[in-house]
Amino acid sequence: MPRAVVYYRVYCFVSAGLNLLLAAVSVWMIARREALASEWVPDSVWLLAGALFLPTAVAFGLLNLWLSRVQRRPGHWAMHVGNISLGIASCCLTPLCLLLLQAWLRPEVKEWFQGE
């Protein structure tokens, strides 16, 4: 198994942890919206932000947990490239994902997924 696959698993767990942390913060924002409200940010904004972040964070957190179980099938290599690319859009994970993508695009990783 190439080292990039091991690093990818670590990335999936880190990303899942950050997403599930965001889900917890979203629940907190919804629950404490009245205490967080101010003259510039009404409580409806906190409710809307929490309601939008919560399902997104849970979905991506669970997706990363599922993707951490790397399966050695030809079509799955591209699926994992897509997941790494999604992480590039996150300011927290961009440096890690750029290095991981560089390692992931090496021929030995793609060959490992092809079973050659």
What integer pLDDT is reported at residue 60 of this predicted model?
Answer: 94
Average pLDDT score over residue span 8-15 = 94
What integer pLDDT is reported at residue 116 of this predicted model?
Answer: 53
What integer pLDDT is reported at residue 38 of this predicted model?
Answer: 87
Between CA 34 and CA 95 the distance in angstroms is: 37
In contact, 64 and 13? CB cutoff 8 Å: yes
Spatial neighbors of 62 by CB under 8 A, at least 6 apart, are: 16
Average pLDDT score over residue span 64-77 = 86
Reported pTM: 0.85
Domain boundaries, the chain: 3-114
